[in-house]
Structure 1
Amino acid sequence: MGGRVPRTQRLRVRPGEGWAPPGCTLPKTHHAMTTHNHTIPDRSPPGSTRTAPSAGHQDGGVKCATGASSKIRGRDNITIGTWNTRTLRAAGKLQELTHEMDRYRWNILGLCEMRWKNFGETTTEEGHKVFFSGKEDKHEHGVGFLVHKDIVNTVMGCRPVSSRLITIRLRAAPFNITIVQAYAPTSDYDDNKIEEFYDQLQNVIDQTPKKDILVVQGDWNAKVGRDACRNWQGICGPFCNDDTNERGLRLLEFATFNDLVLANTFGHHKASRRWTWHSPNGQHHNQIDYILVRKRFRSGVNIART
């Protein structure tokens, strides 16, 4: 596999806004994915409070409500990101991740390829909370969320689905926010495994409350290109790869069926700021990580960038 660019895909949103029409416009395994019906609740101490709100930044920074019954308000800006960590298995890797995130403005970060076994939650030294979902018998795949300490009290629950899917729900007004973190199979897998993944993902979407702001993000191992901007108007923007591959078409079909848009293909950024994968020889660069949101809430997206 090629090298992973050490950048996050980030999406800054306001939970209170609706949809405005756009201007234009999947590692090898032979084990079937398993589904867990468990839910990881938020385990913050009852009655806990905070002494001060998190810092507010200019030009669309982060503002968060605080307190035991805190929720994300419509006027608040939150930053949601996705990152393929390649592994967090070795000692000290989680500390490296949280140290790296100090360079960014962020509220919740979806993680791929954590390679942690089983499912559960843990708290970092800084007070951030990690929810994770992996295989029971292997350090393989693995997805999760890193939730900033300032919004931990807004977590209503986190549900591990498989080593490739996990969901989290945040208390917000006027609509709660559900985020699905996905790690799609690579091109090494046959079509049956891809369809199995999308069937499982569709079940997750179908179980999400219809009124929630839905964000589906992660490493899709798929290429969506500028040709999709012409053929899938309103689903994909022009700031993406040069062409679309077969797995990219499957992603577009999924997005269309669920009325989702690829938010980070609408951000006007140069190509080198959109790449998230390099070939081993350094000659090919692709964007394979995408953040999808429901069309009706796309106007609540302030900026999507790498």
Structure 2
Amino acid sequence: MYEVEEIEEHFAPISGADINSISDESDFADDSCDEITSNVDENENELIKWTNYLQLNSDSDEDNDQDYPLTQSATLVQYSSSETSSDNEIIETMTLLCFLKLFTTNITRFGSWNVRSCYRVIKRELIVRQLKRYQIEVATLAETNIPNSGIYVVNEYTSIYSGAPEKERTRATHGAAVCLGPKASRASRNSGSIWRSVNSRIVAVCIKSQPIPITVIAVYAPVNPSNGLKVDIEACDEFYKALQSTIDNTNKDNIILIMSDFNARVGVEQASSAQSVIGKHAVDKQNKNGRRLVDFCLFNGFVITNTFFPHKPAHQTTWMHPKTKQWHMLDYILVYRKFRNSIQDVRAHRGATGGIGTDHHLLRAKVRIHLKCHKKTTETGRLKLDYEKLNNEKLVAEFQTELLKHRNNTQENNRDLFVNEKFTQFADYIREHSKEYFIKDQKYQKNTKEWFTHEIADIVDKKAKAYVQWQHHRGKIDENKYRNQYRMLVKTVKNKVEASQREYWEEISVDIENAVKDHDPATAF
């Protein structure tokens, strides 16, 4: 059996094999992708023979295709002397099918890495060596310190970089880059992919692959403004403003991956207020950049994939603080929520750090595109009620009144029924109508902490709406008004959460002390 790489090598030297030229003319439906890939598996040998034949006869004007011994089992390409299709069109069709197989059956590895400068050629070769070692096909590099913007090639790896102008170059030149492996480089060249240098911290590359284009955005965010300096705060505002503009100018139907060093820390406490963005495997305590990152993801529908996969702390954190010697998660991989299932795994690899002399670990993600939609099954489990609402005397009285009315209205009609049938009807009625009074709020149903009250939830909603209003009024006269409202709500949420947590732990401490005094160690522990 021939591998996909060998098939691509046959297609590489053929001119005119534009992948996207038949994307609009293809008669294949979306639900037939599985059938196409299975046909490629069954007829790889015949596909290689047919491609070799076309390469040998591409310069000939005579039609000698009828002399080629094509078997009846080769259902992938049906050709006869009466057909008018050119050789190039057939090659384009077969190339498209091979790329369909590549993206729907294989796992592609993406990487994110803060390399701490790759200005020297030797450093670039060391980086490429580590990417080959971990089989990474597409990688984003942060803090490259390369001035201007452009493209360079090292050992078949194509790097598209963006940095500060040469005249403004300093030690803190920042810089971001997207490094494409051999397969990704070939797909990018053949499909006419585009790239855009936004500024010295953001660069975007769109790979027009089939069946779904992939847009990779490499970023290098400013450091967290911990001291409250106005310069640092303005730098963070300018960065997220440029990143938002980049997302607005990107096709939302693409698979958008935002990767690299965000200099942000997201915590477990944010998993309660932003369940759709942060998973339960966050390891840090949130900071200001972390709040900005979560608000950006909520506004644009992104997911922080690092926090959804369980790993050891050594395989989650990517950077160690030089003073406190504590490890933190600063590098993230963001993806659109509708393509969340395409991310198979995300973890850090420590072995690559010493190979290039950086203080950040390499972050690698396994990506596989799912073309079929998984139907959600409705679970018919036990009814989950909000027990806090059961303590509400007003709700309980209203529910009892409704049950009494139902009993009086159905008492005459149920005289001929057996006791078991009456009980079943009554239980079903309670089950259905109790949802109107005591059901849990769906928005905060999962992973809700005891200290996360409804008051905090309402303020979090207001904060999210204020952020949306701020983004909608960017560059307008009243931008400062909406930005100040958002910042005020951020401080309010922080104070409310800290006060609620303090009150919650004080109650727990009092209960433990009382249990110890009553000689009840089971309750105390």
Specify the TM-score bucket, using the shorter chain as the normaliser: 0.7 to 0.9
Q: In structure 1, how many angstroms separate the alpha carbons of the residues matched to 2:13 and 2:286?
A: 48
Q: CA deviation at 1:248?
A: 0.1
Q: Distance in 1 between matches of 2:112 and 2:16?
A: 29
CA shift for structure 1 position 100: 1.8
Among 149, 156, 160, the alignment partner of 1:127 is 156
- What is residue 5 of structure 1 aligned with on the other side? none
Following superposition, the deviation at residue 187 of structure 1 comes to 2.2
1:173 & 1:99 partners in 2: Cα distance?
28
> What pairs up with 1:75-94 in 2 under 5 angstroms?
75-94=105-124
Q: Which residue of 1 aligns with 2:467?
A: none
Q: Corresponding residue for 1:144?
A: 177
Which residues of structure 2 form unaligned runs of 5+?
A: 1-11, 18-90, 226-230, 349-525
Counterparts of 1:44-123 in structure 2, within 5 Å, are: 47=15, 71=99, 73-123=103-153
Aligned residues: 245
C-alpha distance 240-145 of structure 1, shift in aligned 2 (>3 A): same
Q: Quick check: 2:280–2:308 contact (8 Å CA) kept in 1?
A: yes
* Structure 1 residue 239 displacement after superposition: 1.6
| Residue 240 (structure 2) pairs with residue 198 (structure 1) | yes
Mapped partners of 2:316, 2:270: distance in 1: 16
1:176 to 2:213 alignment: yes
Report the 3-state secondary structure (helix = DSSP H, G, I; strand = E; otherwise coil) of the residue aligned with 2:290: helix
Q: Residues of 1 paired with 2:330 and 2:221: CA distance?
A: 10
Contact between 1:74 and 1:172, CA under 8 Å: does it hold in 2?
Answer: no
Cα distance in 2 for partners of 1:129, 1:110 equals: 12
Deviation by residue 1:30-76 (Cα, 9 ceiling, x = unmatched) = xxxxxxxxxxxxxx998399xxxxxxxxxxxxxxxxx9966453333
1:279 to 321, 324, 331: 321
Paired residue for 1:207?
A: 249
- Structure 2 distance, partners of 1:135, 1:233, is 37
- Separation (CA, whole Å) in 1 of partners of 2:336 and 2:200: 24
1:148 maps to amino acid: G
C-alpha RMSD of the superposition? 2.1
Which protein shows a greater Rg? 2
Higher RCO (Cα < 8 Å, 6 or more apart):
1
Shift of 1:233: 0.6
Q: Is the 8 A contact 1:224 1:245 kept in 2?
A: yes
2:346 corresponding residue in structure 1: 304
Q: Percent identity?
A: 28
TM-score by length of 2: 0.45
- Kept after mapping to 1: 8 A contact 2:224/2:287: no
Kindly state the Cα deviation for residue 91 of structure 1 after the two structures are TM-superposed: 4.0
Contact 2:257–2:335 (CA under 8 A) maintained in structure 1: yes
1:102 offset after TM fit, Å?
2.5
SS in 2 for 1:130: strand
Q: What residue is the counterpart of 2:304 in the other structure? A: 262
Amino acid at match of 1:177: I
Q: TM-score scaled to structure 1, two decimals? A: 0.75
> CA deviation digits over 1:254-281, x for unaligned, max 9?
0000000001111111111111111113
Give the partner amino acid of 2:174. Answer: H
Q: Which amino acid counterpart does residue 170 of structure 1 have in structure 2?
A: I
Is the Cα–Cα contact under 8 Å of residues 184 and 194 in structure 1 kept in the other structure? yes
Q: Given that residues 260 and 292 in structure 1 are in contact (C-alpha distance below 8 angstroms), is that contact kept between their aligned partners in structure 2?
A: yes
Q: CA deviation at 1:169?
A: 0.8
Deviations for 1:89-112, whole angstroms, at most 9, x for unmatched residues? 134110111112222021100000
Equivalent position SS for 2:103: coil
Mapped to 1, the partners of 2:116 and 2:240 lie a distance apart of 22
The residue type equivalent to 2:213 in the other structure is: N
Are 1:259 and 1:295, in contact at CA under 8 Å, matched by a contact in 2? yes
In structure 1, C-alpha distance between the alignment counterparts of 2:129 and 2:218, rounded to whole Å: 22
- Segments of structure 1 that go 5 or more residues without pairing to the other structure are 1-43, 50-66
Aligned to 2:186: 153
CA distance in 2, matches of 1:45, 1:146: 23
AA aligned opposite 1:211: D
SS at match of 1:74: helix
